[in-house]
A and B are shown apart, each in its own frame.
Chain A
Amino acid sequence: MYDFQYHRPKSVADAVAALKKAADGKLIAGGQTLLPTLKMRLAQPTDLVDLSGVPELRGIKVEGNAVVIGAMAKHAEVSASAEVQKAIPALAMLASEIGDAQVRNMGTLGGSIANSDPAADYPAAIVGLNATIKTNERTIAADDFFKGIFTTALKEGEVIISVSFPVPEKAAYMKFDNPASRFAMVGVFVAKLAGGVRVAVTGAGPSVFRVKAMEEALAKDFSGKAVENIKVPTTGLNSDIHGSAEYRAHLVTVMAKRAADAAK
């Protein structure tokens, strides 16, 4: 790890100010992605701005027909939250399946989606539930947020404040683990929302994507049967030592089917 300046602001405004002042500053949330990167000397920020002392970024609350979760909410907090378990059990379940206990006790919602790992779990829920991401500058719709492998719509110095998840009629997340990392090799989030059905896939491609054919089929008949024969094209899907694009494409169908049947 290279040396850096450490800041622990008490407000979002101070955090933004600290970032602005730094030559090459970086926010740090749970550090579960950033710290290994620093330890392996793959990044050399001049300043780290630690968000753990900012109260505005914490908390989970129900607002109308949505659950609003602070960017600094840890995976363990989301999975254990009575509000989330009641309103969107699929989201609590998703959070409980991220990494291991240590990672869940440190890693955060904001850090996960800002990082936009192609195999991360949260992006499937964000897009699957048509969530809205609130930053210090604006709100961003789920479909506009993830831009590709490790890239998002966030601008330099933009801080995620919270994410608002609409409460669905029913939803489920089915994750097929990468055997080594246990990130998602394929994760499928299906949800029946007031505005229609959504099917969001993580792990299979460079970034989360929706499967329109499955959404249409489920809109007519929300059951596993409705999607079991819908195949996604393999073009553009990830292929590595853990699984070919064909395998991942196949798993999308299997996981979508299982998610549709499990949704509640």
Chain B
Amino acid sequence: MSEQGIGKRVVRKEDQRFLTGKGHYTDDLQRIRQTHAYFLRSPHAHAKIARIDTKAAQSAPGVVAVFTGADTAAAKVGSLICGWVVKDKHGEPHKAPPHPALAVDTVRHVGDTVAMVIAETEAQAKDAAEKIVVDYQELPAVINPAKALDKGAAQLHAEAPGNLCYDWELGDRAAVDAAFAKAAHVTKIDLVNNRLIPNAMEPRAAAAEYDAGSGQYTLWTTSQNPHVTRLVLSAFVLGIPEHKLRVIAPDVGGGFGSKIFIYAEETLLTWASAKVNRPIKWTAERNESFVSDAHGRDHVTHAELAMDKDGKFLALKVDTIANMGAYLSTFATAVPTYLYGTLLAGQYTTPAIHVNVRSVFTNTAPVDAYRGAGRPEATFVLERIVEQAAREMKIDKAELRRRNFIATDAYPYQTPVALAYDSGNYAGALKKALEMADYDGFEKRRADSKAKGKLRGIGLSAYIEACGLAPSAVVGSLGAGVGQWESAQVRFNPTGNVQVYTGSHSHGQGHETTFAQLVSTQLGVPLDQVEVIHGDTASVPFGMGTYGSRSLAVGGSAIVKACDKIIAKGKKIAAHMLEASAADIEFKNGVFSIAGTDKQVPLGGVVFSAYVPHNYPLNEVEPGMDENAFYDPANFTYPAGVHICEIEIDPDTGVSTIAKFTAVDDFGNLVNPMIVEGQVHGGIGQGIGQALLEHGVYDEKSGQLLTGSYMDYTMPRADDLPSFDVGYQVTPCPHNPLGVKGCGEAGAIAAPAAVMNAIHDALAPVGVKSIDMPATSSRVWQAIQRANTKMAAE
């Protein structure tokens, strides 16, 4: 038993199913009388739709129905929503232009949905879509967020003059200005945080079915949060009563944030399933995913850091333009504000911080949360400028950080940007990471590389994240449209095995194992007697889903609470069975006993008694063993750590090779270290992908997505990555029962700055001052050439 409990490297229960092709994904569904949908998408970045003629398509073979924006508008299908209201500098809510599921008179990005064709087969739907004639009148487009606010830039929405969604600020500007006025040194930096395209292994998919007898809709969808999907579709978009809509997110192959959101396609499928009174299925093809999944990042930032003569940080100011894309996706507004500006204190005592964020509309796919969401952008700004400052001040980069770390005894620590950190040991993580990376031996390795004609660099990233989203009262006061607690239900069956229902959703995270380990430890039930169930609004209590590294910290805490209720009830039953007082009953390793005696009854016996209450304290407790709990966290959790990247560059080709990557993370307690390692590895992989390889590029003139397939969008592959050296600093979270902080996003948050700092460290000796992500070999080579030319001229 103890071999399977908390802290053990238990092999994932779900892997057998996934690795042998026995998973059940949305696209595996075959409903009786099922039809197939195909979405006709805009080939233009920006155009008026003068006319759509669907006549030929309607009568094409196999066609069941064709719908356009005119149909959905007439049926009063609501706009897709953004669920987080950000108030601007003046207290005004963000501009929220309508986002029709099918474009009505204007298309605003390549891939915008123009028509839905429903047919007997997918091929027939596609054939018919080719017969739809759309008369587009092309309009000028704006792509680059840095140009969206320019006078004369193409305008996307009448509701958002100048393409501005909001102009938001956080922090004390006057205090920042005062600190800059007396600074001994100011470091300035300009950064681009490159647009990323999520690319979950399973593309988005949905199937919808309407039961005319009961008036019940069922939607199967690749969602990270089926209850939120149901809530949004019911309350805001389609008006289907919540109890008449069942949303099922079956096995889902990766999300990384992109499957949090409620998109046009599943909305339209649900709506149309009643119109055509037949089940409809749609699965995105990879090229559709590229143009229609919400993208990530896409910031342009200027930042300045003021220091005293010893490198003590006095103040930080940050000015960012964040790209929202053509429409606001479900949580888009929150990402560059409350998940970004609030993280700019990092691990440091910087007393004054001011951040200004202008979010803008452009003719590109919507941008929303993507693994890390806001926090990678904040870490990138801070850790790049800190290392730039170290270079300018000629202070060792580890030492400069040490001088500015929040002390280990300073918790709770209130930052100047709203968050109150609960715990941490930043100096401890740094020390460990420096040792693991053999930081002290680096200069020798740099010299060895130089002797071979190579440039070697080392870079650090001391990151912090706010995870475990989120204390509902706090996010509510900041504009969130929902609470962010989590639900759990622990249901024993009469024979003693357990079904655990969780509002969290697993789409690769391994909850079926981790949560079972947790229950196994709490209740002393063998792991194989615990079944974790998630993803179906018809069986699982209302839950908020999985994102923001919240599943264990919030969902796991709810499970612990439900287990506590089981134990409390069990004690009363055991007391009756053992003829003792409930106060004298202890519960340990699955056994109730009278303290200090050998009189005991196993949990299984208590459970059986609860379901067969022949000899049972019915006047004190109800029969049955089935407990519900909801957990609303007291605070965010604050995973933090230090990642170190060592890189070698071949100046002849610009190729960077990661020689060593070290990660020391503080996630609090670890339930399954093997799963945590997997999460760290995947996160670092994505972080390295962002730093060196990935880039969603639109042509600035035509607005066409130039990286619309794997021919041009560079996903990181195994041979792009080194073996990772992973270690931990464990500072348990003080405010949740498991002492856990969350590990899903850390790698993606920390790695880009570590890699880019290493690149800048390697290139500094040849005169390269600044290079943007992704630092592809071509960009590195060009930067070296430019520096050479400049040096030659000087």
Residues of chain A touching chain B, judged by Cβ–Cβ distance below 8 Å, are 1, 40-41, 176, 179-181, 241-244, 246-247, 250-251, 254
Chain B residues near A179 (CB, 8 Å)?
693, 714, 776-777
The answer on a CB contact under 8 Å between A254 and B652 is yes
Given contacts A180-B715, A251-B653, 10 further A-B contacts (CB under 8 A): A1-B123, A40-B287, A176-B653, A180-B710, A181-B711, A241-B697, A242-B712, A242-B776, A244-B782, A246-B785
Q: Which residue, of A40, A179, A254, has the highest number of chain B Cβ atoms within 10 A?
A: A179
In the assembled complex, 28 residue pairs joining A and B whose CB atoms fall closer than 8 Å, in A order, are A1-B123, A40-B287, A41-B126, A176-B653, A179-B693, A179-B714, A179-B776, A179-B777, A180-B711, A180-B712, A180-B713, A181-B710, A181-B712, A241-B695, A241-B697, A241-B707, A243-B778, A244-B782, A246-B782, A246-B785, A247-B654, A247-B778, A247-B781, A247-B782, A250-B781, A251-B653, A254-B652, A254-B653
Residues of A within 8 A of B714 (CB): 179-180
Note all chain A residues with C-beta closer than 8 A to B712. Answer: 180-181, 241-242
Residues of A within 8 A of B287 (CB): 40
Q: Is the interface of A mostly helix, strand, loop or mixed?
A: loop
A-side contacts of B697, CB under 8 Å: 241
Near A by CB (< 8 A), chain B positions 742-794 give 776-778, 781-782, 785
- Number of contact residues on B: which range applies? 20 to 34
The distance from the CB of A118 to the nearest CB of chain B, in whole angstroms, is 13
**CB neighbours of A241 from chain B (8 A):** 695, 697, 706-707, 712
**Which residue of chain A is the closest to B716 with respect to CB atoms?**
A179
Question: A-facing mask of B697-712, CB < 8 A → 1, else 0?
Answer: 1000000001100111
A131 and B525 alpha carbons, distance in the complex (Å): 71
Q: Which residue of the partner chain, among A40, A242, A254, contacts B778 with CB atoms under 8 Å? A: A242
Q: Which residues of B contact A251 (CB under 8 A)?
A: 653
Give the Cβ gap from A92 to chain B, nearest Cβ, in Å: 20
In the complex, A243→B654 CA distance in Å? Answer: 11
The minimal Cβ–Cβ distance linking A1 to chain B, given in whole angstroms, is: 7
CB contacts under 8 Å to A, within B113-152, are 123, 126
A244 to B707, CA, bound (A): 16
Question: Which residues 717-733 in B have Cβ within 8 Å of A in the complex?
Answer: none
Nearest B residue (CB) for A39: B285
With a cutoff of 8 Å between Cβ atoms, the chain A residues found around residue B653 in the complex are 176, 251, 254
Distance, CA A157 to CA B781, complexed state (A): 45
- Whole-angstrom CA separation of A243 from B714 in the bound complex: 13
Give the nearest-CB partner of B720 in chain A: A179
CB distance from A196 to the nearest CB of B (A): 27
Bound Cα distance from A244 to B776, whole angstroms: 12
User: Which A residue sits closest to B710, measured CB to CB?
Assistant: A180
Task: Tell me, rounded to whole Å, the shortest Cβ–Cβ distance linking A94 to chain B.
Answer: 18
Nearest CB of A to B131, in Å: 13
Q: How far is the CA of A179 from the CA of B713 in the complex (A)?
A: 9
Contacts of B53-83 to chain A: CB distance below 8 A = none
Least Cβ–Cβ distance between A256 and chain B, in angstroms: 12
A181 to B710, CA, bound (A): 6
Assembly CA distance A254 to B711 (angstroms): 24
Q: Return chain A residues, CB-CB under 8 Å to B782.
A: 244, 246-247
Interface 1/0s, chain B 648-674, versus A by CB < 8 A?
A: 000011100000000000000000000
Q: How far is the CA of A176 from the CA of B655 in the complex (A)?
A: 10
Chain B nearest CB, measured from A107 CB (Å): 15
Q: Which B residues are in CB contact (< 8 Å) with A254?
A: 652-653
Smallest CB gap from B655: residue in A: A176
Rounded to whole Å, the gap between the CB of A245 and the closest CB of chain B is: 11
Q: How far is the CA of A241 from the CA of B778 in the complex (A)?
A: 9
B782 to chain A, nearest CB (A): 7
**CB neighbours of B713 from chain A (8 A):** 180
How many angstroms between the C-alpha atoms of A40 and B286 in the bound complex? 11
* Closest partner residue, chain B, to A179 (CB atom): B714
> Taking CB as reference atom, which chain A residue is nearest B127?
A2
Residues B584-643 near A (CB distance < 8 A) = none
- List B contacts of A244 (CB < 8 A): 778, 782
A180 to B287, CA, bound (A): 15
Q: Which residues does chain B contribute within 8 Å of A246, judged by CB atoms?
A: 782, 785
Q: Closest 6 interchain pairs by CB?
A: A180-B714, A243-B778, A181-B711, A179-B714, A247-B778, A254-B652
Question: CA separation between A241 and B653, bound complex, in Å?
Answer: 16
Which interface residue of B123, B287, B711 has the most chain A CB atoms within 10 A?
Answer: B711
**Complex Cα gap A45–B353 (Å):** 63
A179–B652 CA distance with the chains assembled, in angstroms: 16
- B706 surroundings in chain A (CB, below 8 A): 241
Chain B, 481-512, CB within 8 A of any chain A CB: none
- Nearest chain A CB to B291 CB, angstrom units: 13
Closest beta carbon of chain B to A100's beta carbon, Å: 9
Residues of B within 8 A of A181 (CB): 710-712
Query: In the docked arrangement, what's the CA distance between A227 and B777, Å?
Result: 22
Residue of B nearest to A253 (CB): B652
Chain A proximity of B718: nearest CB distance (Å): 11
Shortest beta-carbon distance from A37 to chain B in Å: 12
Closest to A183 in B: B711
